[in-house]
Amino acid sequence: MATIGFIGLGNMGGPMLANLVKAGHTVRAFDLSDAALARAEAAGATRAGSVPDAVEGAEVVLTMLPAGPHVRSVYLDEGGILAAAAPSTLLIDCSTIDVDTARAVATAAEAAGLHMVDAPVSGGVGGAEAGTLTFMVGGPDAAVTAARPILEVMGKAVVHAGGPGTGQAAKVCNNMMLGIQMISVAEAFMLAKRLGLDAQKLFDVSSKASGQCWSLTTYCPVPGPVPTSPANRDYAPGFTAAMMLKDLKLAQEAAARSGAATPMGAAAESLYALFCNQGHDGLDFSGIIRMIDGQE
């Protein structure tokens, strides 16, 4: 069992921490939110008063932060992780951020004699709570091997994508596909509605035909066909529209830097921006079907 410093205890980080504690790891937790720290303590973690307090003496440091600037600050600033961590500490960043930041922080960690992987996740809050996340991991072979037992406590799949930053590359590509697919599924159901085709009948056909995808069979955006989908709880989020918009923006930034043509990704970003600007950023991303249906 390892001593783990865990920084960033939001909707994803909190349940991920809880699974580490359940597995027998000693976890020292830090977040700017007192409520998040209280939940971490209730889960069995020890409250840390600062980033250095969480990092000092830890064999592993895990972060789950909102965006690239937060990652740069927490790792690179004076009093940050790289300054506080002992040599050979394993650093695991599970944030979803831009590839350039992931690679810059990994380079700085290597120069400081620390092992680091970028390991963004797929699976949403439900996956974090159930310990069934998928981790897309970028980093050197030795660091990924060391990180795997920790990640496997929190997830069902750990995929080594390649060198530093490739975990983030896999995440933005995956979520661009997801955002596009959710819009396509929503449009199909709304077309079916106007053509007089029952939603369950469309599901019965498409879930067994060439329209099959995760956004349909696991996360269906209309109530009924998939009882566990957010559509059946008024689109209470497993993965918010705001988070989807963030990931689509990251994908478009990466496309612009790399010269990739992603017109469908750009269209998805525009539609999610419109949905969020209407005040629905806190809804599940599948709730965009309401806008497509003309309800918003």
Taking only Cα atoms into account, the Rg of the chain, rounded to an integer number of angstroms, comes to 20
Determine the average pLDDT of the residues in 92-119.
Answer: 97
Model confidence over 124-149: pLDDT tens digits? 888 999 999 999 999 999 999 999 99
pLDDT of 238 reads 86
Pair 8, 93: CB distance under 8 Å? no
Determine the average pLDDT of the residues in 185-196.
Answer: 98
pLDDT of 179 strictly over 70: yes
pLDDT of 151 reads 98
Model confidence over 195-245: pLDDT tens digits? 999 999 999 999 999 999 999 999 999 999 999 999 999 999 989 999 999
pLDDT of 14 strictly over 90: yes
Determine the average pLDDT of the residues in 4-14.
Answer: 96
pLDDT of 106 strictly over 70: yes
Local confidence band at 295 (pLDDT 50, 70, 90 cut-offs): confident
- Distance between the two ends of the chain, CA-based, in angstroms? 50
Tell me the two tokens of residue 59.
């064999």
- pLDDT mean across residues, the chain: 96
171 is catalytic: yes
Local confidence band at 3 (pLDDT 50, 70, 90 cut-offs): very high
Distance CA 4, CA 146 (A): 13
Model confidence over 58-105: pLDDT tens digits? 999 999 999 999 999 999 999 999 999 999 899 999 999 999 999 999
On the 0-12 / 13-18 / 19+ scale of CB atoms within 10 A, 194 is exposed
In this structure, how many other beta carbons lie within 10 angstroms of the beta carbon of residue 24? 10
- The DSSP result for 37-64, as a single string, is HHHHHHTTPEEPSSHHHHHTT-SEEEE-
Local confidence band at 296 (pLDDT 50, 70, 90 cut-offs): low
- Which domains can be identified in the chain, with CATH numbers? 3-163 (3.40.50.720), 169-292 (1.10.1040.10)
Task: Give residue 114's identity as a one-letter amino acid code.
Answer: L
pLDDT of 125 reads 87
Distance CA 172, CA 249 (A): 9
Task: Point out the catalytic residue in the list 171, 201, 246, 249.
Answer: 171
Residue 48 is classified by DSSP as P
Q: How many residues does the chain have?
A: 296
On the 0-12 / 13-18 / 19+ scale of CB atoms within 10 A, 196 is exposed
